[in-house]
């Protein structure tokens, strides 16, 4: 008897919990902002959250969308694929239809499978791995460029300006880092640059002495690293200590002030490909000031793409007067938007039609200047 009561009660509970969130969902339009709030790359998550939250606030100040307010729901995936799947399921079970995220390509890929299947529209403002949009998905978009674009920008700069004799390409064995490293290697090899070493290091490890000794032994004069700043920072520092004088280069994942904190003087002269600096665009002056008022830095590579992702969703909801992810996705493919990252239009597969990367020279104090082009 007792058992039956418990069973009945628990099933009632389960049903209430499943329907509760959806019952309230109609009063606001929820947008889940998913990225690393904690973990080793939380700085990038902060850029994403700052940008997206700013967009939500500004849109709400103007009265929201179709008379409804937007609501940002911040969720943490720590940039771990396992956690990303758990968070994606949470988004689905809470009845949220729009996601701005995830950040790391390794997280975005498994999460996007779930969103596509469950009918949630996703725009990643940061994941640059080409595979993400190569699967004929209907609901997956991005407001950032691709590794292949970034890889060829980096490769072109190396071939035209650095002209190295022997190159080592190192990566962190993760989807993002390895993807971009492969793109660079392919570009270099097709331009007859001698790539003598292509090797992975373990994410989160801190001893790179053996690798550096090996690079020295091979007489490499240029090193490309695909990955994030915690590992490259250590590599730079240990390389300098061991007297390795080769030039280093990395993607936007390493372009963070922390790399100078970790590597100190060794970060001087590092080459980095980054999205063009949107904060210098005069059209963004008001927005940059708004970030400044909140004591936030708008110059991070993912701030403006995140802002734009939220804006694209809001604009399309306003235009179509619909909150159905499939209708929104359809409208997004045929629309043009004016956003802080410039004119935005999407290809059929969800990629941007245009996105510009620039090569910068990094300095030991954490600043950057546009790299000289010979």
Partner 1 sequence: MQFLEQVLNGITLGSIYALIAIGYTMVYGVIGMINFAHGEVYMVGAFVGLIVMTILSSLGATLIPVYLIAMFLAAILVTSVLGWSIERIAYRPLRGKHRLIPLISAIGMSFFLQNFMQLSQGPRPFAVKQLITGSFVFSDTFSISYMQLLIPATTLVFMIVFTYFISKTKLGIACRATEQDRRMANLLGINTDSIISVIFVVGAALAAVAGVLVSLYYGTVRDTMGFVIGIKAFTAAVLGGIGSIPGAVLGGFVLGFSESFASAYIGGDYKDVVSFGLLMLILLVLPSGLLGKAEIQKV
Question: Is residue 129 within 8 Å of 147, Cβ to Cβ?
Answer: yes
Q: Return the sign of the alpha-carbon dihedral for residues 211, 213, 218, 219.
A: positive
Q: What's the full length of the chain, in residues?
A: 374
Residue-wise burial string across 61-81, b where 16 or more C-beta atoms lie within 10 A, e elsewhere = eeebbeeeebbbbebbbbbbb
Q: Does 364 bind partner 1 (CB under 8 A)?
A: no
Quickly list H helices, the chain: 2-24, 42-61, 81-93, 105-118, 147-157, 175-190, 209-218, 229-241, 257-263, 285-293, 303-320, 325-333
Which CB atom, from 87 or from 344, has the smaller least distance to partner 1? Answer: 87
Per rule CB under 8 A, is residue 204 in the interface with partner 1? yes
154-183 positions binding partner 1, by CB under 8 A: 173
Q: Does 67 bind partner 1 (CB under 8 A)?
A: no
Give the shortest CB-169-to-partner 1 separation in angstroms: 12
- Cα–Cα distance, 373 to 23 (Å, whole number): 58
Given 2, 3, 61, 243, the residue binding partner 1 (CB under 8 A)? 243
Element (H, E) at 362: strand 357-362
10-39 footprint of partner 1 as x/- string (CB under 8 A): ----------------------------xx
**Cross-strand partners of 314:** none
Binder among 258, 268, 281, 297 for partner 1 (CB under 8 A): 258
Note whether 209 binds partner 1 by CB under 8 A: yes
What is 245-276 written as a DSSP string?
Answer: --EEEE-GGG-SHHHHHHHGGGGTT-EEEEE-
The window from 17-25, 26-34, 202-210, 282-290 that contacts partner 1 (CB under 8 A) reads 202-210
Residue 51 backbone class (left: φ over 0; alpha: ψ -120 to 50; beta: rest): alpha
Is residue 363 part of the contact set for partner 1 (CB under 8 A)? no
Nearest distance, CB of residue 76 and partner 1, angstroms: 10
Q: Is 83 in the site for partner 1 (CB under 8 A)?
A: no
Site residue total, partner 1 (CB under 8 A): 34
* Residue nearer to partner 1 on the CB measure, 67 or 217: 217
Task: Name which position in 16, 202, 280, 367 contacts partner 1 (CB under 8 A).
Answer: 202
Other Cβ atoms closer than 10 A to 116? 17
Quote the least distance from Cβ 88 to partner 1, whole Å. 21
Work out whether 262 is an interface residue with partner 1 (CB under 8 A). Answer: yes
Q: Does residue number 185 form part of the binding site for partner 1 (CB under 8 A)?
A: no
Of positions 199, 324, 354, 370, contacts partner 1 by CB under 8 A: 199
Q: Torsion angle of alpha carbons 115, 119, 125, 128, nearest 10°?
A: 50
**Nearer of residues 95 and 264 to partner 1, judged by Cβ:** 264
CB of 50 to partner 1, least distance (A): 16
Query: What minimum distance in Å lies between the beta carbon of 102 and partner 1?
Result: 17
Look at the block and give the residue holding tokens 């929820």.
30
Three-state SS at 123: strand
Among 119, 130, 200, 269, binds partner 1 (CB under 8 A): 200
Q: Which is nearer to partner 1, 191 or 206 (CB)?
A: 206
Peptide bond into 102 cis (omega under 30): yes
C-alpha 69/C-alpha 62 separation (Å) is 10
In the list 10, 16, 18, 213, the residue contacting partner 1 (rule: CB under 8 A) is 213
Residues lying near partner 1 in the complex (CB under 8 A) are found at 38-40, 42-43, 173, 199-202, 204-207, 209-211, 213-214, 216-217, 230, 233-234, 237-238, 241-243, 258, 261-264
């Amino acid at each position: 008897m007792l058992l039956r009561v418990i069973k009945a009660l628990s099933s009632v509970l389960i049903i209430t919990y499943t329907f509760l969130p959806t019952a309230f969902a109609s009063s606001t339009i929820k947008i889940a902002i998913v990225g690393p709030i904690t973990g080793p790359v939380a700085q990038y998550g902060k850029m994403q959250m700052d940008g997206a939250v700013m967009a939500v606030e500004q849109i709400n100040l103007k009265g929201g969308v179709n008379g409804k307010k937007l609501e940002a729901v911040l969720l943490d995936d720590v940039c771990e694929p396992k956690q990303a799947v758990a968070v994606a399921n949470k988004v689905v079970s809470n009845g949220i239809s729009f996601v701005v995220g995830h950040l790391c390509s390794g997280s975005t890929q498994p999460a996007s499978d779930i969103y596509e299947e469950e009918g949630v529209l996703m725009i990643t403002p940061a994941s640059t791995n080409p595979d993400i949009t190569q699967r004929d998905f209907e609901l997956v978009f991005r407001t950032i460029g691709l590794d292949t674009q970034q890889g060829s920008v980096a490769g072109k700069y190396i071939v035209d300006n650095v002209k190295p004799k022997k190159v080592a390409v190192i990566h962190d064995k993760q989807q993002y880092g390895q993807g971009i490293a492969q793109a660079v290697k392919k570009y270099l090899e097709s331009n007859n640059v001698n790539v003598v070493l292509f090797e992975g290091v373990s994410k989160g490890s801190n001893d790179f002495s053996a690798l550096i000794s090996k690079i020295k032994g091979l007489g490499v004069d240029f090193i490309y690293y695909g990955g994030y700043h915690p590992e490259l920072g250590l590599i730079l520092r240990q390389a300098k200590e061991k007297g390795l004088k080769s030039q280093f280069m990395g993607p936007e994942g390493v372009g963070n002030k922390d790399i100078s904190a970790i590597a100190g003087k060794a970060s001087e002269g590092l080459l980095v490909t980054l999205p063009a600096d949107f904060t210098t665009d005069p059209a963004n002056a008001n927005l940059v000031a708004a970030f400044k008022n909140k004591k936030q830095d708008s110059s991070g590579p993912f701030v403006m793409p995140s802002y734009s992702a939220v804006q694209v969703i809001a604009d399309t909801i306003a235009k179509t007067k619909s909150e159905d992810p499939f209708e929104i996705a359809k409208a997004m493919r045929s629309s043009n938007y004016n956003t802080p990252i410039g004119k935005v239009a999407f290809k059929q597969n969800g990629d941007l039609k245009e996105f510009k990367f620039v090569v910068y020279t990094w300095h030991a104090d954490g600043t950057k200047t546009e790299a000289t082009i010979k």
